[in-house]
Amino acid sequence: MKKLITAYRVFTPDMYTLCAFLGGSAVLIGIGAFMNTVTIPGITLVVVSCLLASLDIFCDYFVFQGIFSKDFAFGILANSHHGYDVLRMGVRGDQLRRLIQIFIVEFGTGMILKRAMFEAGYFSDMWNYAGFLVVFSLAIYIGDTLSLNVTRNYTNYSEGILVITLFTAIESGLVLGLTCVFLNAEVHADSFPWIFVLAIIACVVTYCMCERINLRFKDSFGERKMGRFGDDSRKKMIIFLAIAFGIDFAMLPLMKYGFDRGIDLSVFLIAQMMYPMCGVALAKLFSYNEEKLPKAAYVIALMLAGACMILCALEISYPQTFEVNGTAIPYYYLVSNYVVIVANILFFILVSAAGKEKRKNAGMSFSRPVLSIGLVLLHIVLYFTYYLIVNLVFYLLHIYSGQFDITENFIKVLFSENAPALWGGVLLNLVLSALLFLGEEYGWRYYLQPIMQKKFGVTLGTILLGIVWGLWHAGADFMYYSKETGPQMLVVQVIACVSMGIFFAYAYMKTNNIWVPVLMHFFNNNLVSVLSGGDMLNSMQNKVVGWNMIPAYIIGYVVMWGFIFTPTLLGHVRKVKEAENVQ
């Protein structure tokens, strides 16, 4: 009895449901009043919402009807030996039902406002209008789910009602603002990007709430005694793949949409860099076996990725440019840089404040500092060596690579009057954007590398990880780095990722310090800015790579391939340690 009552309260307390739907009605009435197009009494919407809220409460009672029956004979959870499974399905069902109810309310109200919308010239056909209503409904659903999730912390109904009222007011303001943007800016024809982004956010929010309930009630029905919550490594891998690769590939249609219209896609690459870390962070946050973690820092990383995804949608919906020193820069790319700076500062403050234990559990400790710094400096030397070798081969074969001439510009850029300013800019960029590079390396080196090496062996696992890392860049290779020679760029990308991955893996295994590959990754990308005279944005885009250039890249990366033959990457060190442990 007590378990069932507790489980019911986790669902949707009656007053919270009524308050949420009444707030939703207020939003709709507010929009109608704002447009002066409500042709029926607003009380009708309130009545409809109350009826739907009553239906919601009735469905919850039906699921948990056993709490009103002495013999527990009626109700899905009654006399069930799988009560926890039913609880989880019930939570998902509850969210699905809520989403359907919101769609009913919003589309019903939309039909009331349809004539006025069309007469005002906001929409040209029903499909455009339907897209707007879908965006509107998803926005309300996300706000509703977040508010319900927060109010579950309150056992006092009065406090809960106050909190959900506050959330509803915030949600109402955001939805009204979104509506004004749609109608005044006339972007209703491009509702697909908004639907896509909001649908992803809705799925993530719903999943987070379901997992939170799972964690809270995992002991309620004796599941731990059954050993069900032991090793959850498979679950972590599914979450990681779903975020790091699933969202990456799911964003490709949006990139293609912008690519076909000649829109700059730089924001997409910033968002992409955060997906691996978000996958690891969510996997850890929803794991049953993790120790204390810097959760606030993880939240900042997740928020940065979400903000960049929204900016991606804005970039392809309202492409704008901003002129800086006579150079046209994509407006939302500039905004994303400011967002990254703020997130970067907050992240490192929170990581520092988290303490040694949490940093260690999250794999963010800076261990073996002398060796770590030495390996980072070695990587910079290897990078310039690679650059010299590649340009030398291009020079000997008379191949134009679009890069600086080895005999003039290379020395000029490194030792000219502007060199200190360029290098100072690189170091400043390190302070302001290191989180982006942690975004990738936290997924590849910290999480996936040990798994791949354990499954396939140290050497083969390292090489396969490099291939996976390279293929992960496929969308950017075809639509950003090289719009004309995508296949060749993808091959070069795989070669580069395998080669750099070898040295990164070597350095990470030697130091057990994730900040080492993070710094290496940063310098690998940002030294391009030094060698291109400071114009990093243009130097990264629209490269032309011929098949005859690929051998030069292979020869250049020999300086990093050599580390595959070290005892560390041949697995000798690990075997010795394992033998010592056995003894």
pLDDT single digits (tens) 435-484: 999 999 999 999 999 999 999 999 999 999 999 999 999 999 999 988 88
Burial class (CB in 10 A: 0-12, 13-18, 19+), 402: exposed
Nearest to 496 by CA among 568, 540, 560: 560
- pLDDT at residue 180 above 80? no
User: 546 Cβ partners below 8 Å, 6+ apart?
Assistant: 399, 485, 488
Burial class (CB in 10 A: 0-12, 13-18, 19+), 22: middle
Which residue bears the tokens 């940002």? 526
pLDDT of residue 434: 94
Hey, what are 23's tokens? 């707030």
Q: Which residue type is seen at 294? A: P
3-class state of residue 494 by DSSP: helix
Q: Which residue type is seen at 52? A: L
Note the residue count of the chain: 583
pLDDT of residue 465: 96
322 backbone dihedrals φ, ψ, rounded to 5°: -130, 125
Q: How far apart are CA 583 and CA 579, in angstroms?
A: 6
Burial class (CB in 10 A: 0-12, 13-18, 19+), 475: buried
79 backbone dihedrals φ, ψ, rounded to 5°: 55, 30
- pLDDT at residue 519 above 70? yes
Instruction: Kindly state the percentage of the chain with pLDDT values over 90.
Output: 28
* Average pLDDT over all residues of the chain: 75
Question: Which ranges of 286-354 does DSSP label H, i.e. alpha helix?
Answer: 295-317, 331-354
Contact call for residues 529 and 425 (beta carbons, < 8 A):
yes
- pLDDT at residue 499 above 50? yes
Burial class (CB in 10 A: 0-12, 13-18, 19+), 503: buried
Q: What angle do helix axes 157-185 and 14-35 make, rounded to 10 degrees?
A: 30
pLDDT single digits (tens) 162-177: 666 666 666 666 666 6
Domain ranges of the chain: 1-229, 230-365, 369-582
pLDDT single digits (tens) 241-280: 989 998 998 888 888 888 888 888 999 999 999 999 999 9
Q: Which residue type is seen at 269? A: L
- pLDDT at residue 235 above 60? yes
45 backbone dihedrals φ, ψ, rounded to 5°: -65, -40
**What is the pLDDT confidence band of residue 55, given thresholds at 50, 70 and 90?**
low
For residue 324, give the H/E element and its range. strand 321-324
